[in-house]
Amino acid sequence: MGLGFLLLRLAFRSVVVPLTAAIMNLVAAAAGQERPQARTRTVLRPR
């Protein structure tokens, strides 16, 4: 994250663009982490 921030900072000469990119990368990495959940099966019973 540090090198990418530095390169974007030099390329765009702004803090907003690399900071936004770093935050979006962290959000994407967090979203990619699959959290295990208890899977329940729903059984449909005829009435």
Annotated domain spans of the chain? 2-30
pTM for this structure?
Answer: 0.58
> For residue 5, with 0-12 CB atoms within 10 Å meaning exposed, 13-18 middle and 19 or more buried, which class applies?
middle
The whole-angstrom separation of Cα 5 and Cα 26 is 12
Helix (H, G, I), strand (E, B) or coil at 46: coil
Residue type at 25? Answer: N
Q: What is the CA radius of gyration of the chain?
A: 21
Per-residue pLDDT tens digits for 10-37: 888 888 999 899 899 988 888 888 766 6
Q: pLDDT class for 8, splitting at 50, 70, 90?
A: confident
